Structure 1
Amino acid sequence: MLTKKDFKMLIRTLLTLLLLSPPASLAEVYRWVDAEGRTHFGDRPPTQAASQEVKVESAPARVDNAARDRQQKMNAFLEQRQQERDQQRAADAKAEKQAAKRAELCTKMRARLKHMDSVSTFYNLNEEGERVFVSESENTRIRERFRKKVNETCSG
């Protein structure tokens, strides 16, 4: 199935080919005189009489300035719309990528929160590298702070 963009490109191509193809007036024209002396013209030579090919010069097609301006404006409009669509597609792709990163981060944060709930107590390392366990109230604050961070990051 043709997309809108492909359809427009097809129409443009057909119009260009139509404009570039030789007009029908450039086809061969023949002139002959019949037995009664009447002159005839046709696109094929007759079989019963001698004919002469006639060169027909057609006037060049004229495009008025208003039509040219309209065409230029239409082309500029179509180009601008295409650029806008391209920009929107890029913005959508960027937003989709950010959403995927956020979803991955949330998965990791929820896993860490689950792990934190399974740990009985937390500790800090002192200057000698020894574990210093925190109080139960500090454990609760650490869990709640992280839970709040998960909710802020992953909700909505």
Structure 2
Amino acid sequence: MLIRTLLSLLLLSPVVGMAEVYRWVDAEGRTHFSDRPPAQAASQEVKVESPPARVDNAARDRQQKVNAFLKQRQQERDQQRAADAKAEKQAAKQAELCTRLRARVKHMESVSTFYNLNEQGERVFVSESENTRIRERFRKKVAEACKG
């Protein structure tokens, strides 16, 4: 509450210092001052210089604390933005990987049989039950990696 009041006063003080003041003398010879020129008499604009605001040490300390708090909050927001950008980049990378893995699952469905290479480099085809286990194991790994 005190900080809000202090900030309000700081924001309003330049407006008060820049207000125009008019001086005029009425028919009876009395001098008047106002923030609006009179309609019936000629007036003169008076330049009023307000003294510089006196800031005590407690107010200066409070302002420094407010500035430090605002700086810390900005740093936290910057760190959060950086973390969000990193997470977004990682999510995009994961989505791309899952797209490729799902395409491989589809391709595996179209392959009739799988094989291994023996020591001579020859193809040794696996049984139909082994084909099914290979497909099922790969599908399960993709499902775990891609959550679905």
Q: Common fold, TM-score beyond 0.5?
A: yes
User: Residues 121 and 58 of structure 1: is their aligned pair in 2 closer, same or farther, counting only changes over 3 Å?
Assistant: closer
Alpha-carbon deviation of 1:140?
Answer: 1.1
TM-score (norm 1): 0.63
> 1:57 offset after TM fit, Å?
8.8
Amino acid at match of 1:71: Q
Which segments of 5 or more consecutive residues in structure 2 lack a partner in the other structure? 1-10, 19-28, 34-47
Query: Counterpart in 2 of 1:136?
Result: 128
Match of 1:115 in 2: 107
| Candidates 54, 79, 82, aligned match of 1:87 | 79
Q: 96-105 or 127-136, which moves further after superposition?
A: 127-136
| Change in CA separation of 1:106 and 1:57 when aligned onto 2, cut-off 3 Å | closer
Q: Rate the CA distance shift 1:104–1:57 in 2: closer, same or farther, 3 A.
A: closer
| Aligned-pair identity (%) | 83
User: Counterpart amino acid of 2:137?
Assistant: R
Question: Over the residues paired in the alignment, what is the CA RMSD in angstroms?
Answer: 3.8
Q: How does 1:50-129 map to 2 (within 5 A)?
A: 60-129=52-121
Shift of residue 104, structure 1, vs aligned partner? 0.7
SS of 2:124 mapped into structure 1: strand
Amino acid at match of 2:130: E
User: Equivalent residue for 1:155?
Assistant: 147
Q: TM-score by structure 2 length?
A: 0.66
Give the letter aligned to residue 95 of structure 2. Answer: A
Q: CA deviation at 1:99?
A: 0.9
SS at match of 1:120: coil
Aligned residue identity for 1:133: F
Q: Please state how far the C-alpha of 1:147 moved relative to its aligned partner.
A: 0.5
